[in-house]
Amino acid sequence: MKIIIKLTLLILFLIPALSGANTFYLDGEIFSDINMEIAKEIKIPQGVKSFSVYIGQIQSFSSPTFNQQILSFNTKYSTTPSNIEDKIDENGNKYLIARWENPPSELNINTAFKVKSKVAFSDLKSKSSFPLSNISPDIKKYLSDSPYAQKNDPAIVSLSKKLTEGAKTQYEAVTNVLNWVVDNMKYTLEPPQYDALYSLKTGTGNCQNFSNLSVSLLRAAGIPSRVVIGFTVKNNWRVKHTNDGSTRTLSLADGRHAWFEVYYPDVGWVEYDAQQTLTFVSTRYIRQGVGVDSKEVSDGIYKWSWLQKSNESPSVKEAINATFEDDKNEVQSGKFVSNPRNHLFGILLAAVKEEIPVPPLKKEEVQPIPKPEIPPPPLIKPELPPPPREPVEPTPPEKKEWGDLTKLKYTKSAEFGNLNFPEVIDIFAEYKKKEMAATATDVSMSSSFVVESAEYVTDKEVFAQSFELKTPMMVKDISLAMHKFGGTHGNLWVEIVEDKNDSPIGDKIESERIPINNIRYFNGYKWIPFSLERQKIILSPARYWVVLRYSGDAIFNWFYIYGNPYGIPDDTKSMMPEGSEWNNILSYDFNFRVRGTESE
């Protein structure tokens, strides 16, 4: 028995489990040819004297890891503008400012462009030391303080110093900052503020918050960085793990997005996204403009002045449509390191020591565990007033003898899950009064970064979301945040499946089935409850999975939130085709709700 235990421990040390390895370094290639169209439908009430639209032009761009080439770009108007102005701002961003005097009641603006992009998965070869020195004057702007990136605030300065102290290279300092942001920020679609201080205090925000906080911490450490504004397109891509054949799916929605770039003196600007990637962004990103923070880029701004003040405001509907003429996605990962807690995907820096998974050893090949030359640095957890919200690790259920669960009294109402999602997707929001123009007759509004992040879940691929119970529960229902696009016959239902080997392959319980024709069409996303009440199902403390099932011609989307706002990494999976293994891990958490009663 002792021999078996020692052998087991040795193998666990020598073979890092993929579930515990969190920065995956990639090889292969991605290149795409994309036709993009952005259609704006604008309704203008009576009394508007003039109306202006800021349209950001997409430009070609190249970095050590990402190349974007614009092959064509044109904009068409349903009514010819009174004036079109070409503008280049101090960051080099280009805009068309179209203005209408006495505008019509309806305007349609279509911007179409073709982009060819490529990711170069070759090792970066930066030798930039830390702290940096001799930064050129044209780059120093991206070390400055700004309204949304308050790099001089004492809390930002203190945290930045603690995260980067001891770093010998710029890459190490940047990685320490990024790992902290990844592990201490939770994604939310509609935060009330986008600045770095709000992000630090609450630990929540959207892509703007992630990016503004990241560049603030980097600039406080003397590392030039800037926020990038652009678009993402919904076309998933996958990474295959070469050691076990499993895959990970990276997903983004159609819409506006913010990420950031870091300046390395010896290689130039390098892309980062604190929600997903390290040292690159994929071909699903379309770069439009840069600024010291997310507020400085002006695309999607609408300004108007009143001839006669009205309670109505102009309304804008924006539709983004991307079609791929060509798309090659052959990406593998066989190397990884064990930080951060939440997953990142990156391109390896040549000077970084990587951990390489090794195959299982045969019993006769067992050797003493070698001492690593350079142990990975511990995750720094600074204490700040007020402290940033630390990520909550799910804890195993208390080891308590519950006895016969059927004899317990279930009287305490309980509800949990990934509960927050926008029922109606509103991609435009008026600026707050303090952000409006100075006079009462001049008003502006701006496109927001709210996106419809949802998965089409009634096709061949089967999807599952995990949750954990710490006490026994009699389950009333499980609800999914869904939108019905179509379907007249068949059913929807869910299975609650006991976890086994981190997958939904244990014992299962089926909810009541809902006829698709009984689900009405509705705007946006709503909870669709799947009842288990009549079955009086009692679940013991354990980890479970919710698996969506359907029959017939159902066409439904299931809403999700980027990252892992509910649970732990690897808590969302898919299986394709039916009957194969649950070996595809998703980069988000579905919105779900569990309701019932717990024992006292």
DSSP string, 358-406: -PPPPGGG--PPPPPSSPPPPPP----SSPPPPP----PPP------GG
CATH classification number, 23-27+120-297+327-346, choose in 3.40.50.1820, 3.10.620.30, 3.30.300.30, 3.20.20.10: 3.10.620.30
Residue 198, pLDDT > 90, answer yes
pTM higher than the cut 0.95: no
Q: pLDDT-based confidence at 423, cuts 50/70/90?
A: confident
Q: Per residue in 391-420, pLDDT tens?
A: 444 444 445 677 889 899 999 999 999 998
Q: For domain 405-599, give the CATH number.
A: 2.60.120
Q: pLDDT-based confidence at 448, cuts 50/70/90?
A: confident
Distance CA 586, CA 224 (A): 32
Structure-block tokens of residue 246: 């499993």
Question: Which comes out higher in pLDDT, residue 549 or 354?
Answer: 549
Residue 439, pLDDT > 50, answer no
Query: For the chain, what is the mean pLDDT?
Result: 85
Where are the alpha helices (H) located in 43-139, listed in sequence order?
A: none
Q: Per residue in 204-219, pLDDT tens?
A: 999 999 999 999 999 9
* pLDDT for res 441: 63
User: What does the pLDDT average to over 506-519?
Assistant: 95
Number of H helices, E strands in the chain: 5, 36
Type and span of the H or E element at 220: helix 207-220
* pLDDT for res 400: 63
Distance CA 284, CA 587 (A): 15
Q: Per residue in 356-396, pLDDT tens?
A: 443 333 333 333 333 333 334 333 333 333 444 444 444 44
Where are the alpha helices (H) located in 443-594, listed in sequence order?
A: none
Q: Per residue in 62-104, pLDDT tens?
A: 999 999 999 999 999 999 999 999 999 999 999 999 999 999 9
Q: Which CA distances in Å does 26 have to 105, 268, 345, 348?
A: 51, 21, 7, 7
* pLDDT for res 18: 47
First-to-last alpha carbon distance for the chain, in angstroms, is 41
Residue 274, pLDDT > 90, answer yes
Distance CA 351, CA 347 (A): 12
Q: pLDDT-based confidence at 352, cuts 50/70/90?
A: low
| Tally of residues, the chain | 600
Taking the domains of the chain in order of start, what are their residue ranges?
Answer: 2-19+354-365, 23-27+120-297+327-346, 405-599
Q: Per residue in 21-61, pLDDT tens?
A: 488 999 998 999 999 999 999 999 989 999 999 999 999 99
